[in-house]
Amino acid sequence: MSAPAVVIAAPASGSGKTTLATGLIGALRRAGHQVAPFKVGPDYIDPGYHGLAAGRPGRNLDPVLVGEQRVVPLYRHGAQGCDIAVVEGVMGLFDGRIDEHRTEAVAEGSTAQVASLLGAPVVLVVDARGHSQSLAALLHGFATFDSSVRLGGVILNRVGSERHEQVLRAACDRVGIPVLGALPRMTELEVPSRHLGLIPAVEHGTAATVAVDAMTELVAAHVDLRAIVALAGESVHGPAWDPATELAATGQVSDQQLTRTPADGRDEEVADEPRTGRRMPLGMSGAADVSDGRSSSGSAPLIAMAGGPAFTFGYAEHRELLVAAGAQVAVFDPLYDELPSGTTGLVLPGGFPEEHAGQLSANERLRTAVAEGAAHGLPIHAECAGLLYLTRSLDGHPMAGVIDADAEFGPRLTLGYRDAVALHDSALWRAGARVRGHEFHRTRLIRTGRETAAWGWRATGSVAEGAVVRQVHASYLHTHPAGNPDAIARFVAAAERFGQ
């Protein structure tokens, strides 16, 4: 049996999904439930708040990046040990990847697609400002648009008064949609945001915990938790995702190399980060956090993974796959730490380096170690923030200088899925490999050199992006490791060769 799920969706972005989902996770946990938190799509920020509320890592369900066949298995894997799951949607319920060639009614990557794959009911969060009796027509449309999606109830958000609530409830009754909660307008719950959305929980520190506690209190006071639990009364059926099985299927990792570990169903501890005083999930605080693959034999390659406030964009399955492939993983904070001793591979994930460029630059010992490692063939997997860290400079601050380019904060946001092709062999992909990724940044490279491009794709024209330098693969493109287990196997093998 697997934990039943409820999906939190909305008619449009900005309706209050994150507040409701985070508060619901916290309120259910406070009521004694073990809650598995999920986010639809390639969002790295909301899961941080979900994780604080749940006491365990927030995970993503993205049919575009991992394939729809992996959605249920990844859900089953992430929900192990829990009795209920809360899945926060993305954008509007039926919004997803825009593809004029797709014939299916439900957009790929949409909340509706994920809800349909899970067979889970949807709770629609409606921003009540400006709504009156016409809410009935809106709900009727969302309830009947696609028969594969079951609208189980509505939560009215930002209700203006008791009279306003009465009118809205009457509209819901008219179309037979249960009201599961009604929340008043409370602007003090707004979490500070910046150019890519909310400030990540790791960066927001203690204030993030305070905000999550306030969301929990709000939902506990104004949402019918028993009705939510009853609505999610069916289990999600199917096999659970297993990193070792995925790696074995690539044919690149032997049974002797694989490390089979159970899913992390326990509450993840939260520790005070000793240098900054920020509270962050254990595993983001320093190089002492090592997940061990084959350490008992002493031959496991050591993968250093950047974490901390500047590198917050990542997936829990990434580390699980690295460990399953036989690696040790040491998480370190590039703002303060040195490169972990014995590093044979380096992962630099996405994040907000532009917000911490001065501190990153000031850690000269790390910058020098990364540059020297790259020059000697250290395998490096760098995505977005990692790409920026490897440039010569970021907004005028010296960086590692591995990539012959400078970077700066740009005038516009670059956002969207990409169907990319690997243009050259690298530590992760063979030339010609086809990968689905996602861009999400507001920086740009300037004064670029002539390094070998990592990816090619077609947009309004042909695009060549990123760089492959020796064993370095750096790009703006975010990929999901669960959708690319072969790349993880290649990277761990490259790290093992480097260690030898």
Place of tokens 């089979």: 260
Gyration radius (Cα) of the chain, Å? 23
CA distance 335 to 58: 24
**What is the per-residue DSSP string for 116-173?**
HHHT--EEEEEE-TT-STTHHHHHHHHHHS-TTS-EEEEEEEEE--HHHHHHHHHHHH
384 is catalytic: yes
Give the H/E segment covering residue 364: helix 364-375
Q: Which of 384, 388, 390, 494 is catalytic?
A: 384
Give per-residue burial for 30-67: e unless 16+ CB within 10 Å, then b: beebbbbbbbbbbbbbbbbbbbbbbbbbbbbbbbbbbe
- Across-strand partners of 59? 38
Q: Closest Cα to residue 128, out of 167, 177, 94, 86?
A: 167
Residue type, 466: G
Look up residue 40 and give its amino acid.
Answer: V
What Å distances lie between residue 373 and 289, 301, 302, 311, 378, CA to CA?
21, 15, 14, 20, 5
Q: What are the C-alpha distances in Å from 27 to residues 15, 63, 120, 125? A: 20, 28, 20, 17
Which residue's structure tokens are 């072969």? 486
Pairing verdict, β 380-383 and 472-475: parallel
Per the rule left: phi > 0, alpha: psi between -120 and 50, beta: everything else, 251 is left
User: 26: phi > 0 → left, psi -120 to 50 → alpha, else beta; which?
Assistant: alpha
Nearest to 153 by CA among 53, 224, 49: 224
What is Dmax (Cα atoms) for the chain? 72
The residues carrying an active-site annotation are 384
